[in-house]
Amino acid sequence: MAILFDEKKKLFTLSTRNTTYQMKVDMFGVLNHIYYGEKVGQEDMSYLLDYRDSGFSGNLYEAENQREYSLDTRPQEYSTNGVGDYRINSVSVINPDGTDAVDMRYVSYEIVKGKYSIPGMPALYGDEKDAETLAITVKDAVTGLEAVLFYSVWEERDIITRCVKFKNSSNETIVLKKAASMNLDLMRGDWQLVHFHGRHCMERQMERVPVINGRMSIESVRGASSHHHNPFTILCAGETTEEFGPCYGTALVYSGNFAVEVEKDQMGQTRLTAGISTERFSWELKTGEEFYTPEAVMTFSSEGFGKMSSNFHHTFREHLCRGKYVHERRPVLINNWEATYFTFDNEKIISIAEGAAKLGVEMLVLDDGWFGKRDDDLSGLGDWIVNTEKLKGGLKPIADGINALGMKFGLWFEPECISEDSDLYRAHPDWAIQIPGRKPSRSRYQLILDMSREDVREYLFKKMTQVLDSANIEYVKWDMNRHISDVYSAKLPKERQGEVCHRYMLGLYELLEKLVTRYPDILWEGCSGGGGRFDLGMLYYSPQIWCSDDTDAVERVKIQYGTSFAYPISTVGSHVSAVPNHQTGRNTLLETRGNVAMAGSFGYELDLNLLSDEEKEEVKEQIKKFKKYYTLTHEGEYYRLTNPFENHLYAAWEFVAPDQSEALIHGVQTMAQPNSPSQNIPVKGLDPEKMYEVNGSLVRSGRALMAGGLNLPRQEGDYLPVEFYIKEV
C-alpha cells in the first residue's frame, strides 16, 4: 500500500517507488511534518525532532512548562497563523470577531483508492490502479473552520499531489485571506531555489539562488500565471546537477495569480508554501460553504534534475493532458500570422495553403483578423462574427478549399478580451473589467471581459460554437494578449471584490471544459502572447501551448530549456519562422530552425511560397524527419545535455526511445571559436549492453557512448545545426 497509518504512533507514511513522506500527530493534536526524501520504508523518522527552549518563540498553552515545544520552530504539515508561529503561514482569515488566528488540530483521516478531484478546477486524474488518496481533517476548535488536507500518491512516478478543502462549520461568516495549496517544512539542508522568470518573448529563464535567512517570493499578480514568473519551482542542494543530488519540484495546477513563498527560519529550517497569491484575494465562507484550493504537484529526486523532470513529464502526459491528441500525432501546421498579419483575403490564404500542401504541411491555421471590424489590433475583439467582406462566404469556403488540398483547417480566438471599438462593448460596457469612475488601463489597446460572469460565458460559448459549427474547424488557438488590472466586477458586492480574480479563473475553466467536451476532436492550443500562461492548469484543456512569441531559434533554445524542467516536450508549441527573425532580426539556417522546432509540436510561421526551390526541398525533408521521429520526441525520455545559460559555445538535448532502441541528439553550435579545442557532447539513457550506430557509421556500445560522449562536429560559423541519430544494431 502507498499510504499507511500507524494508529499507535499516530504516524502517516506515504510511500512511492523511491521516496517516503511522513507526518505525525503529536500529543497536542498538531500535525507535524516529519520527513520527505529518499525511501526509508515505515521507519518512524520523528527521532529527528530535536528542539530546545528558544527565546521569543512561545509555547502552546497546553504544553504548560515544556518550553522546548513551540509552533515557531517545529515543522508543521499545514502552518497556522496568529497563534505562535511567526513564519510563513498557510492560511489566514478574518474571523467573526475580527481576529486572524487559525489553530488547526487533527480530527480524523480517511484512505481511499483512486484520485480525488477538485470541483470546477483542473487536476491530475487517475483510477484505483494509478493512485491512492489520504484525506486528513483538521479543525480550529474555536471558530469551527475545518480543513481537509488531500494527498494523492502516484507510487510508480514518485509523485504526490495535494490540495485543501476548507469548510465553515460555524454559525457565522469567515473570510479566507490566504489558502495555500501546500506547505513543506524541511528540518535539514542548505537549499537553493530554482525558479523561471522572464518577460514577453523571453519566458522561463532559469535562475538558481541560495535560500536566504528570511522570506523569498515567486509570484504573479497579473491575473495570469504570466511570462514573468512560472508556477513551478525547485528546492535543491548546492551540489545538485542533472544526474546527481537531491531536489524537490513543486508545480501548481493553476493559471491565475499565484505565490510560491520560501523562508529559512532561525533554526536553519526551510519552509515552502504554494498557492493562490494573497494580493487581491479574499473569499467569503458562509455557514456550511466550502472552498477548494488549486492542486499542487510535488516530486522528490535524489538523482538530480533529470529524474525530477522525468517524473513530471510522464505524469503530466498520462494524467493531466486529455483528449485524442495526448498520443495521436499532431498535424504539421502553418500559421499565417507572420506571413500576412491582418492583411489577407480568401485568395491569399488559399495560396499559402496550396504552397504549404505541396511541401507536406497538414494544417493551415488562420490567425487574428478574420472577425468583426479587425484590420488592426485597435478594434473588433468580442465580435466573434466572420468578416465576410474580407472572407467572402465566411469560413466554410476557406475550410473546404483547404480540406480539398488534403489539409486540416484551424482558427485563432481571443475570447477573454474586448475592444472598446466593438459592438459587444457598446452593448455591454459593464462586461469589461474596469473600476467605476476610473479610466481603465489599456494593454494592446484592449480590455478584459469579466469571465466570472455567467452571462459573459454564455455569450462566448454561443458565439464560439456558432463559428466552430459553421465550417470544418479541427484546431483552435486560444490566445490572451494582456493581463488583468483595474480589478472590479459589476456583478459582485463591494465586500466580495477580492474574489474576482479567482472567480475569473473558475469561469474560464468552466467555459473551456464546456468547449473541449463539445468538441473532443479539436486540437486545442493554449496561448497568452506566447508563453504567458504556460502552466498545468491550461494543459488540462489544451495538450499543447504556444511556447513563446519569440520564434528565433537561438533564443528558443533557452526558453525551451527552462520549459523542459517541468513540462513535457509534447506540450511545447514550436515553429520554424522567417529570417531575418521578426523578433530579433537574427539570421539562422533553415536546418537550425527546424532542429530547434522539433523539440515540440512542429510547424511553420511564414509564407512558404517565398522560399527558394532549394529551401522548399529542405522543408519537405524536415517534415518527413519530424514524422519519422515523432514518437521518439513526443513519447521518449528527454535529456538536457547542456545548460545554455552556462555553455555559450553550443547547446544540445536528447530524446531516447522507451525501449532504448534509438536516440536523437539535436543541438546548435551557438558560437564559433578560432583554433577551437574539441568539444564533447554527453550521451545519456542508452542500454550499456546494446550496440548502436551513430549517423549510420560509427558503431559503439551504449556503455562506450555514455562514457565517452560524442565529438561536436567541427563547423565554421555561428548558429549551426548539430544532429546525431543513434540506432541499435
Active site residues: 535, 615
Contacts from 29-32 at CB under 8 Å and sequence distance 24+? 29/105, 29/106, 30/60, 30/71, 30/74, 30/76, 30/105, 30/106, 31/76, 31/77, 31/78, 31/104, 31/105, 31/106, 31/136, 31/138, 31/149, 32/74, 32/75, 32/76, 32/77
Structural element, H or E, at residue 597: helix 590-597
Query: How far is Cα 226 from Cα 205, in angstroms, rounded to an integer?
Result: 13
Calculate the CA 112 to chain-centre distance.
28
Residue 26, SS3 per DSSP: coil
Q: How is residue 606 written as a grid cell?
A: 511564414
Look-up of cell digits 480539398: 404
Phi, psi angles (nearest 5°) of residue 22:
-130, 145
Question: Which residues partner with 146 through β-bridges?
Answer: 139, 167
Q: How is residue 338 written as a grid cell?
A: 507572420
Phi, psi angles (nearest 5°) of residue 498:
-70, -5
User: Is residue 422 within 8 Å of residue 381, measured between CB atoms?
Assistant: yes
Q: How is residue 515 written as a grid cell?
A: 468547449
Maximum CA extent, the chain = 86
What's the number of CA atoms in the CB half-sphere (13 Å) around residue 704? 10
Nearest-5° angle of CA 154, CA 318, CA 598?
130
Q: How is residue 179 written as a grid cell?
A: 489558502
What are the residues whose beta carbons fall under 8 Å from the beta carbon of 695, sequence distance 6 or more? 723, 724, 725
Strands annotated E in 169-231: 174-186, 191-199, 202-210, 215-220
Query: How far is Cα 164 from Cα 135, in angstroms, rounded to an integer?
Result: 9
Q: SS3 for 67-114, per residue?
A: CCCCCCCCCECCCCECCCCCCCCCEEEECCCCCCCECCEEEEEEEEEC
What are the residues whose beta carbons fall under 8 Å from the beta carbon of 117, sequence distance 6 or more? 123, 125
Q: How is residue 485 written as a grid cell?
A: 488590472
Query: How far is Cα 200 from Cα 260, in angstroms, rounded to an integer?
Result: 21
Residue 337, SS3 per DSSP: helix
Calculate the CA 585 to chain-centre distance.
29
Q: How many helices (H) and strands (E) does the chain have?
A: 13, 38
Query: How far is Cα 493 from Cα 506, in angstroms, rounded to an integer?
Result: 18
Query: How far is Cα 207 from Cα 209, in angstroms, rounded to an integer?
Result: 7
